[in-house]
Amino acid sequence: MPMPPQFRVYFAFFLFAMSTGALFARMPDLQASLGLNKAELGLTLIGMAIGTLISLTASSPLLVRLGTKVSLAISLLGIVALLSLIPLMPNARAVFCTLFCIGLLAGALEITLNVEIGRIEAQIGFGIMNRAHGCWSLGFFVTAITASVIRQAGISMQLHLHLVLGLVFVIAAIIIAGMKNAPVTAMADGEKAPHFALPTLGLLPLCLIGTSAFLIEGAGIDWSAIYMDDVFDVSPLVSGSGLTLFAFFMALARLLVDPIVDRYGPRRVALVLLATAALGIAMVWLAPNATVALAGFALMGGGCSAVYPMAVTAAAQRSDRPAVVNVAALGQMAFVVFFLAPPLLGFVAEAWGIRNAYLVCLPLILGSIFASRALSATTTVGREAVVA
């Protein structure tokens, strides 16, 4: 199937989100089937965070040797296959172990996709990072809206996940089969990638920015359905609408934001988005009714949309280490927070209520606003004006 190289990566992002999003959309059903409270559910889900941390820290040298196509086949297809086993798990321990293995593959997939997008950007000469991550958000939106309808119809979690994941597996195999690796950017003479991708001092501000975006994303994706169920006792269709709106506005912003970033620069755009996310969190925290809460989830999705992709681009453009290592180090911090969000927010929700759990995000957002100076203030328009 002939297509531009970036479209295969777009599909991979989309399918990754479709598969993981199908599970997150059925989180209330998983909680009920395992008989867990919020804290116990969060502790079970931490298995993915542990696996991701290990993978993002140590897998870069192996991924470099395997190449994008092989790494993508192992990680994406492996994630889909393992997710299909979760509805069959007899207890929380088995789910924890399965999620740990999924986390190992998810970390490798995160590095693989982001580095490949960076190489394709260098090859084609224009930015596509936000669009690629927009396809990830679009996948979550599609799986969220379909899951809401499926839950309302009373279809079981097992049947739902097996149908969706079976379709995703077939499409992913077709997409990967025709893939060709983008040219690797040459490293400086004598430069070797370290075996462990740890953040440097200069990378820490970008890690903080990416971490805040992923904490918001985890709060919106993992707990929105349970929040709507517990706080407002709404129907399955309405309870899933929080995730649907969150994913829709995240996808919309990511797909449209690249020209805005080119015009106004990453720093200004990030400040506006972070402020928008903070407003959304406040609305969810104080929501008097379901409508206000849903509007808050929409603002949270739009607000955290392009913050992480801009941090990834900034990390990949740093010249202190190979792009694969800087991207892995950034992803290590951000994705661990994304997967740690369920247990962290679960413990807070169990102790102080699920409304107050969303306040955990605000300190990191404020820190990210101060750290946004690590993003470039340069605009494409400004560069063109200087050249002219």
CA distance 283 to 281: 5
User: What would the pLDDT profile of 125-164 be if each residue is shown by its tens digit?
Assistant: 766 777 887 888 788 888 878 887 888 888 888 999 999 9
- Is 186 inside a domain boundary? no
Burial class (CB in 10 A: 0-12, 13-18, 19+), 318: middle
CB contact at 8 A, 209 and 374: yes
Helices (H), the chain: 5-25, 27-34, 38-58, 60-66, 68-83, 92-124, 129-152, 157-177, 204-232, 236-239, 241-256, 258-264, 266-286, 290-303, 307-317, 323-352, 354-357, 361-371, 380-387
- Is 191 inside a domain boundary? no
DSSP 374: G
Q: What is the CATH number of the domain that holds 38?
A: 1.20.1250.20
User: What would the pLDDT profile of 3-50 be if each residue is shown by its tens digit?
Assistant: 777 888 899 999 998 998 888 878 888 888 888 887 788 788 888 878
96 Cβ partners below 8 Å, 6+ apart?
43, 44, 46, 47
- Is 340 inside a domain boundary? yes
CA angle, 23 then 169 then 323, to 5°: 85
Q: How many domains does the chain have?
A: 1
Q: How far is CA 1 from CA 7, 176, 320, in A?
A: 11, 10, 38
- Report the predicted TM-score, pTM, of the whole model to 2 decimal places: 0.73
Tokens 């470099």 found at: 64
16 Cβ partners below 8 Å, 6+ apart?
76, 79, 106, 109, 113, 136, 139
The pairs formed by 118-126 with CB atoms below 8 angstroms and a separation of 24 or more are 118/185, 118/312, 118/313, 118/316, 118/323, 118/327, 119/182, 119/183, 119/184, 119/185, 120/5, 120/6, 120/9, 120/182, 122/183, 122/185, 123/5, 123/182, 123/183, 124/6
- Is 206 inside a domain boundary? yes
> Which range of residues forms the domain containing residue 108?
5-181+196-387
Burial class (CB in 10 A: 0-12, 13-18, 19+), 353: exposed
Q: How far is CA 50 from CA 34, 43, 84, 343, in A?
A: 21, 11, 20, 12
3-state SS assignment for residue 153: coil
The per-residue pLDDT for 247 is 82
- Is 362 inside a domain boundary? yes
CA distance 237 to 289: 16
CB contact at 8 A, 55 and 204: no
- Is 283 inside a domain boundary? yes
Q: How many Cα neighbours within 13 Å face the side chain of 187?
A: 13
DSSP 306: T
The pairs formed by 163-171 with CB atoms below 8 angstroms and a separation of 24 or more are 164/18, 164/19, 164/22, 165/19, 165/22, 165/80, 165/81, 165/83, 165/84, 166/84, 168/15, 168/18, 168/19, 168/80, 169/77, 169/80, 169/81, 171/11, 171/15
- pLDDT < 50: residue spans in the chain: 187-191, 193, 195, 380-388
Handedness of CA 276, 298, 282, 313 (dihedral sign): negative
- Is 276 inside a domain boundary? yes
- Is 336 inside a domain boundary? yes
